[in-house]
Amino acid sequence: MTAKLSADNLTLIRGERCLFEGLDFALNSGELLLLEGRNGCGKTSLMRAIAGAYHCGRCRPVNSVA
């Protein structure tokens, strides 16, 4: 099965802070992802990186197929 959304070795450094490093994941159709954590831990930054708002590591959103 081909993943609808995936990331390979995703790393994001903002200023002096490494928010995440070496993150790999794949989501298939029908799967859900829960991001949980305290304020400022990088949840929104992760979603922005996946959406392409930040250039970091290798993150590859896969086009959905209807």
pLDDT tens digits, 28-48: 888 988 999 999 888 898 888
How buried is residue 51: exposed, middle or buried, by Cβ count under 10 Å (0-12/13-18/19+)?
exposed
**Cβ distance 20 to 35 under 8 Å?**
no
Calculate the average pLDDT of the chain: 77
Percent of the chain with pLDDT over 70: 80
Pick from 1-15, 17-31, 47-61: least confident: 47-61
**Residue 57 and residue 10: Cα distance in Å, rounded?**
5
Q: Percent of the chain beyond pLDDT 90?
A: 9
Q: Name the pTM for this structure.
A: 0.67
Please tell me the distance from the alpha carbon of residue 29 to that of residue 14, in angstroms, as a whole number.
31
